[in-house]
Structure 1
Amino acid sequence: MSLKLSYPAVIAFISIAFTANLARAETLSLPVVEVTTLAKAVGDPRAKSLESRDISLISVRAHAPRQHTPTRVLIEGGLHGNETATTEFVQWITRRLARGEGPLIPFLTNGVQFDLLPAANPDGGVQGQRSNSRGVNLNRNFGVLWGLSRENPGSASFSEPETRAIRKLFQNRSYTVAIDVHGYINWVVTPSAPSQLKATGYEPNQAKLAAYAGWRQALLAQSVLLPGYEVKTGAELGDGGAFEDWAFWGQGTLAYCLEIEDPDAVTTTQTAREELFKRYERFIAKSVKAAVVIARESGLTTTLAAKQGR
């Protein structure tokens, strides 16, 4: 059995547990964990939920990273508020990073910083619903293929404060990799194919076209780590305005949606739950390794560096 906390208690726990890590990180050479809110991180008090709830942002980096400007990875959960296991999983990843455990740790020592949004839709989390408090599916509200959706995509792309807050975060911090964690279907959802975007009049640049082929192939190849999984795209599912399409085609970030299984449905012990999460952690680690290489070889790294002013 796992410990179940109310949504406000979960957010309070994040702040208390990881702020404590700051005091001991320097003396023990543990990763440095910084807990803030998205609004504070981007310097915009409007970067909150529709009901003015803070969106927690946790950053984890090595105590002495090898490069001044880090390669950044974003791991996001809870964009659908009723998918509580996705928030739990991102919290679990954060604890593992903070303790210096797991296959993501070598990336820290090589200059990678992890930013984590455990609960990207805090209103939906409190209310136990998929959408935000206006009834908009936030994962249909981003700016690529917007409007191609069977669910409420909002009145326009980025009509919702939660998606605008995430956009602001990308404007402030360029990400090489971004993983949007959802549940509970056995899918990895990659960015949509160039042909699916060209039908809407979008013309991707050469760096993105080069990166897309390698990224899609890498995710297909590593899907063997997740038996029973299928690799899909948002466009073929009829899910326009998805995070991974906007992050990749709009921002040049190697992104995907990872659908995790519901641990309450497929595990009966805490040990089994941990093993399930470790399987997804290994998948994420392998994808980050592939993404760093693909970004460099395709020219996306140069584009990101220019955005960061390096």
Structure 2
Amino acid sequence: MTVTSVLMSTVPASAQAAPGTKTGAEASALPSGRTDYRSLADYETDLAELARRHPRLVKPITLPERTHEGRVVRGVEITENAAGRDGKPVLLVVGMHHGNEWPSGEVTMEFGLDLVRNYGRDRQITGLLDKTRIVLVPIVNVDGFVKNTRRNANNVDMNRNYGFGWGESPPYQGAAPWSEPETRNVRDLISTRQVTTFLTMHTCLANMLYPPLQHKAGLPQDIGAFRSFADAMGTQNGYYHTTSADDYETSGEVIDWSYYATRGLGVTVEVCTTPLTLPRTFQSLVVDQYLGTNGFEGKGVRGSFVTALQQAADREAHSVITGKAARGAVLRITKDFPLWTNPVAQPDGTTRPLAFDNHLTSTMEVSDRSGHFTWDVNPSLRPVPPYQADGVHTEHPGFVQESWTLTCARPDGTVLQTAKVRVDRGEHERIDLKQCRERFHPKAEH
């Protein structure tokens, strides 16, 4: 994400060992024991094996769109009963928006191995995976990774192509907001799950960044929550935190869109050596950072990941919908609204923002015999955005008073009841689905 990240593309961290090579060194203390960087084949094998060996805990996922060069983007979901459609809050961790930032993918993959190895052995990890679902995608920009380049095969910087505030990061922002399949893949991940916490992993500054991306956009409404969350992660990895704009100004990054669309807290984590002057090797960038070093031994990036899982699970940090339906009923919540880019030049010679539609939707299945359900969701109240139809507003207080539209349906899709649910951060809202219960199993006629 940062200027230093660009410098890494000139002298990549991988200079010590190309992906897939073997150094002959003894196994490291990483969960995988690796001492060098993975190739794409290594990632795909590790993801597939994780799901094959632990089908109860791990569900493989394939993102909906292939890359420009036709490659598949893969990930995993990890939780107790991963195949179930539960109402757990989600932590999403993605690596390698920038294809040459290899450590960002490595630490993401290692955490997946770590969780599975410790489920049932470590009380904290077991408890968190019983309450949350974590989605891991080690490589967002697969073409860029294969080529060892920052941008994708269309020469677009993935982390400048997201629609919200798009338009002021030339020349690599793309021809239009959401023009790239890789950014649309991440949009799909977040739009179809209740991602209450989101980490996008990068290199290389040893810091953590949150909105705004531009000073003219002003501070986000939940700036206190961002700072508190980043502070908690910083006690584990030793990284300092600040707004992305205070690092340097950009536009069209994923953390900006994800927050203003969902109100889930999204943070950019810049993995790097500590101190920054150390040589950038697999040991200093991956092993030491994951496990903790320079006074943070036993914590590190691993500890910050665990902190993020705790954040995802914290019901004071998101919202909860409860109620009683029928066992086997499928619940769905949806919300539709526009967001805007920065003002950009139009074919008619004017300059104005572009609008783009947002459709959030997620489902859960009622599994309790009694029909009772608990659904951890993002708040329906959405932050008033700084980028609007009439331009950029530095002062944009308050929240859009929106509601989730909730439907209760049979498994075949027949909708039996629809209700509006307005719920704020930290609130629990109970919904009456009596009509759905009565219609789900209609009484036989005589």
Residue 139, structure 1, aligned to residue 159, structure 2: yes
2:404 alignment partner, one of 302, 306, 310: 306
Residue 38 (structure 1) aligns with: 63
1-structure distance, mates of 2:191, 2:286? 39
Kindly provide the CA deviation profile for residues 46-66 of structure 1, in whole angstroms up to 9, marking residues without a partner as x.
Answer: x12111211102010113899
Which residue number in structure 1 is paired with residue 115 of structure 2?
97
What's 2:443 paired with? none
Q: Distance in 2 between matches of 1:176 and 1:254?
A: 6
Are the aligned partners of 1:73 and 1:176 in contact in 2 as well (CA < 8 Å)? yes
- Three-state SS of the structure 1 residue aligned to 2:133 is strand
1:107 is aligned to 128
- Alignment of 1:181 with 2:201, yes or no, is yes
1:270 shift after superposition: 8.8
* Structure 1 alignment gaps of length 5 or more: 26-31, 40-46, 200-207
Q: Say whether the 8 Å CA contact 1:140–1:151 is kept in structure 2.
A: no
Per the TM alignment, residue 83 of structure 1 is displaced from its structure 2 partner at its CA by 0.8
Query: Are the counterparts in 1 of residues 162 and 252 from structure 2 also a CA contact under 8 Å?
Result: yes
Amino acid at match of 1:100: N
Aligned twin of 2:303: 282
More deviation, 250-259/185-194: 185-194
Alignment of 1:145-184 (within 5 A): 145-149=165-169, 152-184=172-204
Report the Cα offset of residue 152 of structure 1.
Answer: 1.2
Contact 1:81 1:131 in 2 (8 A): yes
2:53 counterpart residue number: 21
Pick closer, same or farther for the CA change 1:244–1:138 going to 2, 3 Å.
same
Listed one character per residue, the Cα deviations across residues 173-198 of structure 1 (whole Å, up to 9, x for unaligned) are 22111100001112101121897426
Q: Which deviations, in whole Å up to 9, do the C-alpha atoms of 1:103-145 show, x marking residues without a partner? A: 54432122x1001111010000100001001111101111222
Partner of 2:257: 246
Could you state the TM-score of these two structures normalised by the residue count of structure 1?
Answer: 0.79
Larger Rg: 2
> Per-residue deviation at 1:8?
2.6
2:289–2:300 CA contact under 8 A, matched in 1: no
**What letter is aligned with 2:113?**
R
Question: Separation in 2 of the partners of 1:252 and 1:270?
Answer: 30
Partner SS for 2:118:
coil
Query: For the structure 1 residues 193 and 148, does the alpha-carbon distance in structure 2 shift closer, same or farther, using more than 3 Å as the test?
Result: closer
- Counterpart pick for 2:223 among 196, 203, 212: 212
> Offset of 1:214 from its aligned partner?
1.9
Normalized per residue, the structure richer in helix is 1
Measure the CA separation in 1 of the matches of 2:227 and 2:285: 34
Higher relative contact order (CA closer than 8 Å, sequence separation 6+): 1
How well do the aligned residues superpose, as a CA RMSD in angstroms? 3.4
Residue 36 to residue 289, structure 1, CA distance change in 2 (3 Å): closer
- The answer to whether the Cα contact below 8 Å between 2:58 and 2:82 also exists between their aligned partners in 1 is no
Secondary structure of 2:205's partner?
A: coil
For the residues of structure 1 that align with 2:82 and 2:41, how far apart are their CA atoms? Answer: 32
Name the structure 1 match of 2:360.
none
Task: Pick which of 13-22 and 48-57 moved more.
Answer: 13-22
Aligned equivalents of 2:241, 2:285: Cα separation in 1: 29
Task: Indicate the percent of aligned positions where both proteins have the same amino acid.
Answer: 21
Distance 1:171 1:269, change over 3 A: closer
Structure 2 equivalent of residue 294 of structure 1: 317
Cα distance between partner residues in 2 of 1:175 and 1:272: 29
Are 1:65 and 1:108, in contact at CA under 8 Å, matched by a contact in 2?
no
Q: Which moved more, 1:5-14 or 1:166-175?
A: 5-14
* Aligned residue identity for 2:42: V
Equivalent residue for 1:205? none
Q: Which runs of 5+ in 2 are unaligned?
A: 1-24, 26-33, 274-278, 293-297, 321-375, 382-402, 409-446
After TM superposition, the score normalised by the length of structure 2 is: 0.56
For 1:235 and 1:309, locate their aligned partners in 2 and report how far apart those are by CA, in whole Å: 40
Q: 2:80 aligned with 1:62, yes or no?
A: yes
